[in-house]
Structure 1
Amino acid sequence: MATKKSSEKKSVQSADLPINKTYKLFINGAFPRTESGRYFQLDDADGNFMANICLSSRKDFRNSVVAARSAQQSWQDRAAFNKSQIVYRIAEMLDQKRDLFVNEMIQMGYSKSASDKEFTAAVDLVVYYAGWCDKYMQVFSNVNPVASSHFNFSVPEPTGIVATMASEKTALTGIIQAIIPPICGGNTVVVLSAEKYPATAISFAEVLATSDVPAGVVNILTGKRAELYSHFASHMDVNAVVIWDAEKADAKNVGALAADSVKRTHFYESKTPVVGNPDLIMNLQETKTTWHPIQNISGSKSGY
């Protein structure tokens, strides 16, 4: 009789019980649940339960902006080559998780061939921007001709905090386009993932968490655009708003709200295939012009 009970206990312990995942937010290098306690159910392409997804609130966005502001100056001050190393590290860590991302994309409706193609394009995109981190400044800076005895330089500097909404058209390249170009230019970001593809966004956050990216540089929210549009545009400590594939009415409202704090606003239409573009870095830069006096042969500084 004792043997039978032992056998039954063992069979219960070894049962293959499903573990339903809740994809949490990514704020300041950690994975908190939404402060609102709200979530929505994400179903796979066959209508079966896939995961629970946090429904981000205004407070989650504000917390993300605080984290981004705390990290912005130290990230901006890092050497360009170090930023390049970190972004390349993202590509390395992402490339090791091919099976995870391909399977997630298949669950969300991609074909096997389309998911493989999307993943390869995503890794290539990160590598592409890693190469620009320490080059865009040289390419886009200027030495300006002036009438006086001075050198006059114009150089790009980061805008600051970028609030961006990822494209709804792609699962992985969309979130990468929203994140990587701004941080290559020394900005910090708060990004809202695509409503249709939140799982890959948070899985990408798990890549970022192991890729030497400092806490607060990238903050990822999941939820609904309609709830967060106005907060992204009106927050007074956000320096730029970037919306991928915005509806015309939404773009108009964002522009009007952003005007109160003189934010930069950019509205992009995603294209297929997704290719890198250094303009996505430069559009989130400010131009700083510096004057430097030229020394003459005697060693004194020339005046105006």
Structure 2
Amino acid sequence: MDTQDVKWSLAALKNMPYSGLKAAPAPVKLVDGRWEGAPYVDGGASRPSVHFVGDLYRIGRLADSEPDAAVVFLSESSGGSGTFVYLAVVEKRNGVLINTATAALGDRIQVRDVRIENGAIAVDVIQAGPQDAACCPGELATRHWQLNATQLVEAAASHRTGRLSLDVIAGAAWILRAWKVDEPAPDEPEITLSYDNGRLAGSAGCNRYFVSAEAGDKPGDLQLGPSGSTRMICPEAIMAIEQRFLHQLNGATTFSFMAGQLAVSFAMDGKRGTMHFARKDGRP
């Protein structure tokens, strides 16, 4: 492909080099959004890896970019329990997409949304508060970054906006996009989820459903109670999709966010997974 024809696209951003990562001192070339390094020990299973986080990116004018830049997120793992999340800026120079700045957001940060406002980057996150364990962040915050040549500089203090609760997902309909990681959900029938006043409800594909829901002891814990639904009969293929969704929802144990999408994790019949939902209005 002629480098002069490189266009802004998710595919292009997922197939280019990135630098500034702790576990990979040299630039790493993502292929389909992934990179894996050599094992730390010959024959060992642990190795560094970098992933493009979801499909979340924004394009806009930063104060020190020319003319536009893309903002993306990367996650880095060294094989342990921690997963470090990075904010990266990509600019187009002489027709080539180049990662010009990268900054660490922190360990197990959850990204709810990102915006380019007045030439700066605003990132809505869920992060560990003063009393939170690393495994279970519960503090809502908006963090601001400014591009300064080849550096991302964070504002001195983030703006804390509250604590993670089910009210965070209220006021919107969420559409099922993935049954679990790397398994997209079908576009039709449309499966939705919403929360209001202690209850999850929506369309399971054929029927309307509802189930009582409340938060647990730790941030993101989810406890479901009695459920019900309408009793319409639809074609067999649609009913199979509906039954799978209700079965996985019934096993829901936690909720969180990943790359702007609502992530509902479940455990059923010895199997675990995480369903992903996007806001119906198109926003994360």
Give the helix-richer structure, 1 or 2. 1
Larger relative strand fraction: 2
TM-score, shorter chain, exceeding 0.5: no
The two structures have a TM-score, normalised by structure 2, of 0.25
TM-score (ref. length: structure 1): 0.24
Give the structure, 1 or 2, with the largest relative contact order (CA under 8 Å, sep 6 or more): 1
Larger radius of gyration between Structure 1 and Structure 2: 1
